[in-house]
Amino acid sequence: MTTAAVHPYVASLLAGSGAVPKSPAAWLDARRASALERANALSVPTTRDEEWRFTDLTPLTKLQLQPAALPAPVTAEEVEAHAVPEAAVRLVFIDGILVPQLGSSGTLPAGVTVLPLADALKSHAALLEPHLTKIAGDDLFASLNTAFLNQGVFIHFAKGAVLKAPIHLLFVAAGQNVAAHPRVLLVAESGAEGCVIEDYVAQGEAAGLTNAVTEIAVADNAAVRHIKLQRESQKAFHIGSCAVTLGKDARFVSQAVTLGARLSRNNLAILQQGEGVEVAIDGLALIDGRQLADTHTLIDHLKPHGRCEQVHKTIVGGGAHAVFNGKVFVREGAQLTDSSQQNRNLLLSDKAHVDTKPQLEIFADDVKCAHGAAVGQLDPDHLFYLKSRGLPEAQARNLLTYAFGAEIIDRIPVPSLVAKLEAMVLARTEAGA
């Protein structure tokens, strides 16, 4: 591969990859080198690419971004504003760099391990090797993340281990023109249970890129809940990918709430590798102004008796643009699959718009599958009812909008988080009135 063949913007993003420290695991160095080679061979997606046809990355390519050498200054008080009191442990990353003194630690039950990725590579390499970089895809942004793979988190639930309190991973974007590439690997062995919160926030209004990759391996009869919150700067760009593999009788819950970023892309890919899997996927995007929120999901049923229920909602105001592309594959032999997918979209202005594309591809004959999408405005009858009860029109509209989003948020089993998110949704709906 000659330098001339490399896409100029990709080359600029990769400029700092040579400074990534060597790993204590030779296999990881080999995987990073392979990812670097693949990234060099790829171009930035454009609207001519089917998977990106509604999302124009041109604004991102106008920013000159590099990983931070040092984290921007963020105080303990600023971090505490984002605290989740129910969490058993909190790790804090500033501009993609772990800052241990800003985290918090508690007593974890036997069999639960939460480690910075660099430490885990020294002490748990045998657990990481089968999964790290093996679950996620190899598109441009995942390859960029792997090429820079150094900072991140390893979470391990050993066989039968149960952690009732969530693990809070807080990623703070604070520096200007920073590209951060956080990585999370979660491995849940047979019979284990746990919950992880990935929380992406901003300190200030800096423009930058968060390019996050999360890999989750859920073994037979294990249960994992993954909560992702994205509330970064209105000038920021966020591209996140989560890839999940599920063993026999595994249970997985995904709950994603998108409030921030000038442009965000959330990819979720779930692979059912064993029979009897149960999956629930909730998503909410609340955007306005010039924001764009793009959600792509894939549920791939490979084995029989899989169950999946997905509900994705968007609330779109101003001149914002929401995208939903949901794919459900039922492979040959995946009989008795029960999979449903619903996308509901609420437009708050004449300039707001949504592109939605739910997809079912079924290659088995004994299944129960359904999908649907709806795009509309607030129900006039509901508005009339509330106004007839004495509410001013603006307040009635705010209440209905809030209720539309709160349905998703209320299913998050972390009370402090629910209260905080509901307050943010209410504030946003009132501001948009």
Q: 147: domain range? A: 3-274
**Same domain (yes/no): 262, 401:** no
Does some domain include residue 316? no
SS3 labels along 312-339: EEEEECCCCEEEEEEEEEECCCCCCCEE
Asked if residue 342 is part of any domain, the answer here is no
Where a domain ends, among 258, 274, 290? 274
Averaged pLDDT, 32-45: 94
CB 164: neighbour CB atoms within 10 A? 10
pLDDT greater at residue 213 or residue 428: 213
Q: State the pLDDT confidence band at 344, using cuts at 50, 70 and 90.
A: very high
pLDDT tens digits, 272-323: 999 999 999 999 999 999 999 999 999 999 999 999 999 999 999 999 999 9
Q: Band of the pLDDT at 173, cuts 50, 70, 90?
A: very high
Asked if 267 and 389 sit in the same domain, the reply is no
Please determine, for residue 221, whether its predicted confidence score (pLDDT) is greater than 90: yes
The reported pLDDT for the residue numbered 432 is: 59
Domain for residue 96, yes or no? yes
Cα(393)–Cα(384) distance, rounded to whole angstroms? 9
Tell me what percent of the residues of the chain surpass a pLDDT of 90: 81
User: Is position 327 within any domain?
Assistant: no
**Same domain flag for 20 and 164:** yes
What does the block give as tokens for 183? Answer: 């990585």
Structure tokens belonging to residue 161: 């281990």
Q: How far apart are the first and last CA of the chain?
A: 54
Q: Select from 241, 238, 407 the least CA-distant residue to 314.
A: 407
Residues facing 281 on adjacent strands: 254, 310
Q: Does one domain contain both 246 and 384?
A: no
Q: Which pLDDT score, from 0 to 100, does residue 425 have?
A: 87
Q: Are residues 270 and 393 in the same domain?
A: no
Residues 396 and 259 in one domain: no
pLDDT of residue 427: 84
pLDDT at 8: 85
pLDDT of residue 402: 86
Domain boundary among 274, 304, 339: 274
Whether 231 is covered by a domain: the verdict is yes
What confidence category does residue 2 fall into, taking pLDDT thresholds of 50, 70 and 90?
very low
Region of residue 188 (phi > 0: left; psi between -120 and 50: alpha; otherwise: beta): beta
Give me the pLDDT at residue 5, please. Answer: 57
Spatial contact of 397 and 431, defined as CB atoms under 8 Å apart: no
In a domain, 258, yes or no: yes
User: What mean pLDDT is predicted for residues 341-367?
Assistant: 94
pLDDT of residue 381: 75
Q: What is the mean pLDDT of the chain?
A: 93
The Cα–Cα gap between 170 and 153 comes to: 11
Is the pLDDT score of 53 beyond 60? yes
Q: In what order do the strands lie in the sheet with 278-287?
A: 97-98, 89-94, 167-173, 193-202, 223-231, 251-258, 278-287, 307-316, 338-347, 368-376
The verdict on residue 286 lying in a domain is: no
Question: In this predicted model, what pLDDT tens digit does every residue of 143-155 receive, in sequence order?
Answer: 999 999 989 999 9
pLDDT reported for residue 3: 41
- Is the pLDDT at 4 greater than 60, yes or no? no
Q: In terms of domains, do 89 and 230 share one?
A: yes
Long-range contacts of 49-57 (CB under 8 A, 24+ apart): 51/296, 51/325, 54/294, 54/321, 54/323, 54/355, 55/263, 55/265, 55/292, 55/294, 55/323, 57/263
**pLDDT tens, 373-400?**
998 887 787 777 677 777 777 777 778 8
Give me the residue label for tokens 């241990």: 100
Domain endpoint, select from 232, 259, 274: 274
Query: What SS3 class is residue 178?
Result: strand
Beta-strand relationship, 237-246 and 353-362: unpaired
**pLDDT, mean of residues 349-366:** 93
Q: Rounded mean pLDDT of 104-116? A: 94
Residue 58 belongs to some domain of the structure: yes
**How many separate domains does the chain show?**
2
Cβ atoms of 360 and 392 within 8 Å: the answer is no
User: Tens digits of per-residue pLDDT, 129-142?
Assistant: 999 999 999 999 99
